[in-house]
Amino acid sequence: MTKQSNSLSQGTTPPIFPVKTKIQVTVIFFVVIGVYLFSMFWTQQQMVGGFGNAIGNMVVVIEKFFPPNLSILPAIWDPMAQTIQMAIIATTVAAVLTVPLALLSAQNITTFKPLYYFTRTLLNILRTIPDLVLAVVFVGLFGIGLFPGIIALIIFSLGILAKLISETIEAVDMNPLEAMRASGGNILQVIFYGLVPQVLPQFTSFVLYVFEINIRASVVLGLVGAGGIGLVLDQQLGFYNYPNAMAIIVLIFVVVLVIEYISNKLREALI
């Protein structure tokens, strides 16, 4: 205390942060900048003409995309509808399959530890694989079409959904459940009357959230042959028909925005 008043009277304010923190932050800052510069160098090394050329080129190429050829909208509506249907089916199946998985990976329900760790690890591994990579593998397995796309979406959303819901289950109030068990409820009764009412609003909200993710994922699945609007986009890009491609991109943009808006409103109403 006295020391501080001394330093104040001498007119020097004590530093807000200790010197050690300052050095640490500076070192981390320079490392981050260094890695960034190196990354920029590395990713640009195969580029022809360098950065300046690319910017000029970008304007020329973006102009090719405009104006989008909106007259093809009626023709591309069918694949777009298919894409949405894929997402709906995948989300529904995932929502059903996720129930046992989420229960198995919730620490307070699955008291048998090895089983809990097994499902947890499985879900963790599942979540590391990007959706399109799954789609590539399933297209190899089932051939080109909607089916591999749906399977890829199911597996992908299962990983996210099961994790989110198992965390919700872990956060529930266990007292009513214990009271039910103490008064003679069997495990199914406990789950139905104790757990389900506590989890249901969150569950619905997460399913809608995953549906949004699935919509975004499903519009691009076609790029690897897994059906939907992406397939048409891939073809149009292959023909260098950029106005048509831009029309598809605009449609995707609008559909994603609309569905996200509806889903957001529903989720707000739920919680």
Partner 1 sequence: MATYSLPPKKEQSSFKKFKKIFILLAVIALYVWTFLGIDIDWTRAVERAASNFHRVIPKLFSPDWAAAGEVSQKILETIFIAFAGSFMAAILAIPLGFLAAKNMSRGKLLSAIGKWILSAIRAFPDIILAILFVVAVGPNAFAGVLAIAIGSTGMLGKLYSEVVESIDMQVVEAMEANGANKVQALFYGVLPQIIPEFLSYAIYRFEIDIRASSILGIVGAGGIGTMIIFAANNRNWNEMGMILLAIIIVVTIIDFISARIRRKIV
Neighbours of 173 (CB within 10 A): 9
Structure tokens at 158: 């299962």
Burial degree of 122 (CB within 10 A; 0-12, 13-18, 19+): middle
Task: Decide: is 27 part of the binding site for partner 1 (CB under 8 A).
Answer: no
d(CA 101, CA 159): 9
Q: How far apart are CA 33 and CA 22, in angstroms?
A: 16
73 scored as a contact of partner 1 (CB under 8 A): no
d(CA 30, CA 23): 11
Q: Is 242 in the site for partner 1 (CB under 8 A)?
A: yes
Token pair 């289950």 in the structure block, residue? 169
Contacts of partner 1 in 96-125 (CB under 8 A): 124-125
Stretch binding partner 1 (CB under 8 A), from 67-75, 77-85, 99-107, 169-177: 77-85
d(CA 116, CA 124): 12
DSSP assignment, residue 47? -
Q: Are 105 and 99 in contact (CB under 8 A)?
A: no
Contact predicate 42/36, CB 8 Å = no
Q: Per the structure block, which two tokens stand in for 92?
A: 């529904």
Q: Is 85 in the site for partner 1 (CB under 8 A)?
A: yes
Q: Is 42 in the site for partner 1 (CB under 8 A)?
A: yes
- Which one of 6-14, 137-145, 161-169, 192-200 is the stretch in contact with partner 1 (CB under 8 A)? 137-145
Q: State which of residues 101, 102, 104, 139 lies at the interface with partner 1 (CB under 8 A).
A: 139
Q: Exactly one of 18, 22, 64, 70 binds partner 1 (CB under 8 A); which one?
A: 64
Q: Given the complex with partner 1, which of 161 and 224 has the nearer CB atom?
A: 224
Is 145 among the residues that bind partner 1 (CB under 8 A)? yes
Q: Would you say 112 or 268 has its CB closer to partner 1?
A: 268
Cβ pair 226, 138 in contact under 8 A: yes
- Cα–Cα distance for residue pair 238/65, rounded to 1 Å: 14
**Size of interface with partner 1, in residues (CB under 8 A):** 64
Among 165, 195, 219, 247, binds partner 1 (CB under 8 A): 219
CB of 153 to partner 1, least distance (A): 13
Minimum CB distance to partner 1 smaller for 5 or for 46: 46
Residues lying near partner 1 in the complex (CB under 8 A) are found at 32, 35-36, 38-40, 42-44, 46-48, 51, 54, 57-58, 61-62, 64-65, 81-82, 84-86, 88-89, 92, 124-125, 128-133, 136-137, 139-143, 145-148, 150, 216-217, 219-220, 223-224, 233, 237, 242, 245, 249, 252-253, 256-257, 260
